[in-house]
C-alpha cells in the first residue's frame, strides 16, 4: 500500500513576521541603548557563554547592530560561534535580521528543495532564532561595557 503525500505550499505571513520584529525590537532596544557607533557591550550568560553586541551603523531612523555568540571553547568545544546582524527601525519599532552567518538578503519564502537548502520560511526562522537569543540574554545575562 502506498500513500501519496501532498505537501502544502508555504504561505508567507507578513503579520507574524512583523509581530516577531516588534518583540525583537522591544527586547533589543535596551541592550543597544547607550552604545555609541563602533562601540560594544558584552553580555555574559553563565560562565561559558557571552554575547558581544556591537553598533555597526547609526542613522536618524535606523541602527544596525551585530550580535556575536562567543563561547569559551575549552568548556563548550562543539559550540559554533554565531553572528547575526540586525537592523532596528526606530520609527516603526521593528528589528529585522539582515545578515546571518554571512548570508544577507533573505527572501520571504523559498521553494523547497533549493540549492542552498534553506527552509521555506528561512527569514522567519532566523528572526525567531534571534528572539530565542534575546530571551536567553534577558533571563540569564548581565552586561559588561567594553
Residue 92 lies in a domain: yes
What's the number of domains the chain is made of?
Answer: 1
Domain that holds residue 45: 19-144
Asked if residue 1 is part of any domain, the answer here is no
Residue 126 lies in a domain: yes
Does 30 fall in a domain? yes
CB-neighbour burial class of residue 21 (10 A; exposed 0-12, middle 13-18, buried 19+): buried
- Residue 108 within a domain: yes
Residue 73 resides in a domain: yes
129 within a domain of the structure (yes/no): yes
In a domain, 12, yes or no: no
pLDDT in tens, 85-114: 999 999 999 999 999 877 777 777 767 777
Question: What nine digits make up the cell of 86?
Answer: 540586525
Cell of 21: 520584529
pLDDT tens figures, 45-85? 887 788 999 999 999 999 999 999 887 666 666 667 789 99
Burial, 38: exposed, middle or buried (Cβ in 10 Å; 0-12, 13-18, 19+)? exposed
Amino acid at each position: 500500500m502506498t500513500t501519496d503525500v501532498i505537501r502544502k505550499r508555504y504561505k508567507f505571513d507578513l503579520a507574524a513576521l512583523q509581530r516577531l520584529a516588534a518583540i525583537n525590537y522591544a527586547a533589543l532596544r535596551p541592550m543597544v541603548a547607550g552604545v555609541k557607533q563602533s562601540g560594544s557591550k558584552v553580555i555574559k550568560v553563565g560562565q561559558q557563554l557571552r554575547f558581544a553586541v556591537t553598533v555597526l551603523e547609526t542613522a536618524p531612523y535606523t541602527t544596525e547592530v551585530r550580535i556575536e555568540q562567543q563561547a569559551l571553547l575549552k568548556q563548550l568545544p562543539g559550540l559554533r560561534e554565531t553572528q547575526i546582524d540586525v537592523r532596528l527601525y526606530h520609527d516603526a519599532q521593528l528589528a529585522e535580521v539582515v545578515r546571518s552567518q554571512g548570508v544577507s538578503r533573505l527572501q520571504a519564502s523559498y521553494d523547497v528543495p533549493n540549492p542552498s537548502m534553506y527552509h521555506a520560511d528561512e527569514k522567519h526562522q532566523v528572526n525567531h532564532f534571534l528572539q530565542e537569543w534575546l530571551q536567553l540574554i534577558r533571563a540569564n545575562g548581565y552586561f559588561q561595557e567594553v
